[in-house]
Amino acid sequence: MAVTTVVDQAIQVYIHHLSPAEKKFVKENTGIALLFYTAAQKASAEALRRYPKEGHNGRGDAFRHAYWSALMTRNAGLQAAKKFGYAHEAVPPGDGRHSVIVGKGSTLTQPRAEREMDEFNNAVGRSIGVQNSAATDEQLAVLVDQALKTGRLRILRHAG
């Protein structure tokens, strides 16, 4: 099987879980999107390792968003990371309990406070990525963790 066929299959699996705005970005920027997918996997794994009991809206969530954004920025530049970050948060704000039509399907709205937290943490991560463009993945993770521990990132709840 040709490499491009494997890549195309991976994109089809990945793209199934994206918002319409993310899908548009992926179709227009396939190579960058693959970098971003790899960065997302790395950020999720690292957040789970560092903050296993503080996922949704906790320190792990804040770390994951900021680290992912730092990786994307370092790997593809500020504008691409910003564009995809906003596409990722393109779910309509609401109360988190009501469905809305998004593209050809539906999804739950994202509570406004969560969206604001995610966008804020994404922006901090992009800033870290810009300021540390030669940093390794581990160095970026340490810098993001320091930002979290010094109060530069936002969380909505602590682990209970």
User: Could you list the mean pLDDT of each consecutive 10-residue stretch along the chain, which spans 160 residues?
Assistant: 52 60 80 88 96 91 97 95 82 57 58 87 98 98 98 79
CA 57, chain centre distance (Å): 13
CA angle, residues 81, 45, 159, in degrees to nearest 5: 100
For residue 99 the two structure tokens come to 């469905």
* Residue 117 near residue 57 (C-beta atoms within 8 A): yes
pLDDT at 126: 98
Residues pairing with 159 in the sheet? none
State both tokens at 126.
């992009």
**pLDDT of the residue at 1:** 45
Q: In terms of Cα–Cα distance, which of 82, 48, 57, 66 is closest to 148?
A: 66
Q: Under a CB-based contact definition with an 8 Å cutoff, are residues 19 and 87 in contact?
A: yes
Domain ranges of the chain: 3-149
Question: Whole-model pTM?
Answer: 0.80
| Residue 123: per-residue pLDDT | 97
What type of residue sits at position 46? E
